[in-house]
């Protein structure tokens, strides 16, 4: 009953109207707000022709639901219900020729179907260069680009980069096409107006507006995550479409949404144009992407790690857990335990900044790298290499011989021992592992809080190599005498190496109860 539902609202508005007319609306109630366009129509009209729909087809082995989870279930009706006969007749009429009246006979093999998917893209060159997402065209046997006037053009794949989810296509039009240009995504501020244009749910060119909600989002899609977050509505089919600023420049490629329901809830993510432009240019020019490579395993610098290393200015930079043998970093003098603070003049504010900065550096360039080592900044020069398709595993020297007895590290809740053949077999250690193996971890101890496990290997203590349990104990006692609050251990586990800060609680005196 709509009149009943709206009556209170209408009555309240009618009562308030005479009073509202007596005084002007407060300044903060202006609509649209100051600086906002009165309409996005002129901008949308100019940009829409350069945004395209992407249609792909892929061979589907079977139309059955097992291979098409989006396919509807075969209709079922309760036995004896009036619908049972209806569904039986419906299915009988739709059986392949020669199968009618033979419900228990196997059906003849059907022609192979083609699965279709939809996405978006945008033209960056009038000659027919189109940018979209890799996941829009991944695995496609055929790609078609549909222009705003519904002209369909067959597209060829120029190149794709799964690491950043960017792909470049080429179509061959009879006349120059309308195009758009990349803008500077670094100038986009939180709160700026943006427009998203795409092909949501296959509806064709659709325009939505919103603001930049956040910058530098890491949604755990890869090493190079640096997404722009927006509340402009982005739905299925918008992938690969452009995010525009009010100057009509592309500042992002709409790529992902956060949505428990599958529809837009105002949390969408776009690849920044300053990242996408470089990738698209490389794909267009050489069909692949060449990224800079440093050859290090890194981890986040926490407050405790910063304190233990004496880094001034708090937690910052990227802590080197391992410099891969034969890699550019090792060749340039970077060591495990160094904290990379600046790379080629750019600040490394946190660990995840470094892979992106290195990747954008031209292969073959020699660049200065500022590291924190032994309580001071040092500068080394690194020649950036090309990121290999598969990381090469560096070989390490075998572990030195050590005495077989285990030793309790009092105050830490650890018992450690040398790496013997028996220890290698017991804990499934790699043949090249060296250091001191953890044999026991006391529940509730400092080590347990840091998720250390039996079988983990202590490689270094406070950036010094250790080969025996006695050397570990000596390093810890030295730190206690220096009144250090934490000890920094380089731990090697099943997932690789990482730095772990442990609180140095006082050791029990000999003979004290446990």
Exposed e or buried b for every residue in 471-486, given b needs 16+ CB within 10 A? bbbebbeebeeeebeb
> Choosing from 161, 165, 338, 456, which is the catalytic residue?
165
Give whole-number Cα distances, 326 to 215, 298, 331, 393, in Å: 36, 17, 7, 10
Number of H helices, E strands in the chain: 11, 27
Q: Tokens in use for 72? A: 């509807």
Which residues are documented as binding site for substrate?
A: 135, 165, 237-239
Q: Which residues pair with 458 in a beta bridge?
A: 436, 491
Active site residue 389: no
Distance CA 501, CA 476 (A): 12
Tokens 């004896």 locate to 80
Q: Tokens in use for 251? A: 């500042």
Half-sphere exposure of residue 287, counting CA atoms within 13 Å on the CB side? 3
Of 483, 490, 491, the closest CA to residue 504 belongs to 483
Distance CA 491, CA 474 (A): 17
Of 293, 473, 283, the closest CA to residue 392 belongs to 293
Bridge-based pairing state of the strands 407-409 and 385-386:
unpaired
Distance CA 94, CA 100 (A): 8
Exposed/middle/buried for 362, CB within 10 Å: 0-12, 13-18, 19+? exposed
Which residues are documented as binding site?
A: 135, 165, 237-239
Distant-in-sequence contacts of 413-422, Cβ < 8 A, 24+ apart: 413/441, 413/442, 413/444, 413/445, 413/446, 413/447, 413/448, 414/438, 414/440, 414/441, 414/442, 414/445, 414/447, 414/452, 415/439, 415/440, 416/458, 416/469, 416/472, 417/469, 418/467, 418/468, 418/469, 419/457
> Choosing from 117, 120, 239, 273, which is the catalytic residue?
239
Active site residue 135: yes
Phi, psi of 441 (to 5 degrees): -130, 120
> Choosing from 135, 138, 226, 360, which is the catalytic residue?
135
Active site residue 456: no
Give whole-number Cα distances, 491 to 48, 126, 307, 465, in Å: 55, 55, 18, 11
Distance CA 330, CA 307 (A): 25
Q: Tokens in use for 463? A: 């950036």
Distance CA 230, CA 341 (A): 31
Could you give the residue numbers annotated as active site? 135, 165, 239
């Amino acid at each position: 009953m709509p009149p009943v539902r709206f009556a209170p609202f209408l009555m309240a508005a009618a009562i308030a109207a005479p009073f509202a007319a007596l005084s002007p609306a407060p300044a903060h109630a202006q609509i649209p707000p100051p600086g906002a366009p009165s309409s996005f129509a002129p901008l949308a009209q100019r940009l829409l022709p350069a945004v395209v729909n992407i249609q792909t087809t892929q061979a589907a082995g079977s139309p059955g639901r097992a291979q098409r989870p989006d396919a509807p279930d075969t209709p079922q009706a309760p036995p004896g219900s009036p619908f049972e006969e209806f569904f039986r007749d419906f299915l009988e009429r739709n059986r392949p020729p020669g199968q009618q009246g033979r419900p228990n006979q196997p059906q003849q093999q059907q022609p192979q179907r083609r699965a279709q998917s939809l996405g978006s893209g945008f033209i960056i060159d009038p000659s027919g260069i189109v940018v979209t997402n890799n996941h829009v065209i991944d695995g496609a046997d055929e790609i078609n680009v549909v222009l705003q006037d519904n002209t369909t053009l067959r597209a060829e794949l120029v190149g794709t980069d799964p690491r950043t989810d960017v792909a470049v296509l080429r179509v061959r039009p009879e006349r120059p096409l309308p195009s758009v240009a990349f803008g500077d995504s670094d100038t986009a501020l939180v709160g700026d107006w943006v427009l998203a244009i795409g092909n949501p749910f296959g509806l064709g060119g659709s325009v939505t507006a919103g603001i930049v909600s956040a910058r530098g989002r890491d949604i755990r899609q890869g090493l190079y995550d640096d997404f722009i977050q927006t509340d402009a509505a982005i739905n299925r089919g918008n992938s690969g479409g452009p995010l525009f600023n009010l100057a009509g420049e592309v500042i992002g490629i709409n790529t992902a949404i956060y949505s428990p329901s599958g529809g837009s809830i105002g949390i969408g993510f776009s690849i920044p144009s300053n990242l996408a432009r470089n990738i698209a240019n490389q794909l267009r020019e050489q069909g692949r992407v060449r990224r800079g490579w440093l050859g290090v395993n890194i981890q986040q610098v926490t407050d405790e790690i910063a304190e233990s290393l004496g880094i001034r200015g708090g937690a910052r930079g990227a802590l080197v857990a391992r410099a891969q043998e034969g890699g550019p970093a090792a060749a340039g003098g970077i060591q495990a335990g160094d904290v990379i603070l600046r790379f080629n003049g750019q600040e490394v504010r946190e660990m995840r900044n470094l892979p992106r900065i290195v990747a954008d550096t031209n292969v073959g360039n020699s660049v200065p790298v500022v590291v924190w080592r032994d309580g001071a900044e040092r500068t080394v020069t690194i020649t950036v290499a090309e990121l290999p398709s598969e990381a090469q595993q560096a070989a390490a020297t075998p572990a030195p011989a050590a005495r077989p007895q285990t030793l309790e590290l009092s105050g830490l809740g650890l018992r450690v021992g040398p790496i013997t053949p028996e220890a290698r077999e017991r804990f499934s250690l790699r043949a090249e592992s060296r250091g001191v193996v953890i044999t026991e971890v006391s529940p509730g101890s400092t080590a347990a809080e840091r998720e250390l496990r039996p079988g983990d290997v202590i490689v270094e203590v406070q950036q010094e190599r250790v080969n025996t349990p006695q050397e570990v104990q000596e390093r810890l006692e030295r730190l206690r005498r220096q009144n250090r609050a934490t000890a920094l251990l380089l731990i090697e586990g099943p997932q690789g190496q990482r730095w772990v800060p442990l609180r140095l609680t006082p050791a029990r005196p000999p003979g004290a109860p446990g």
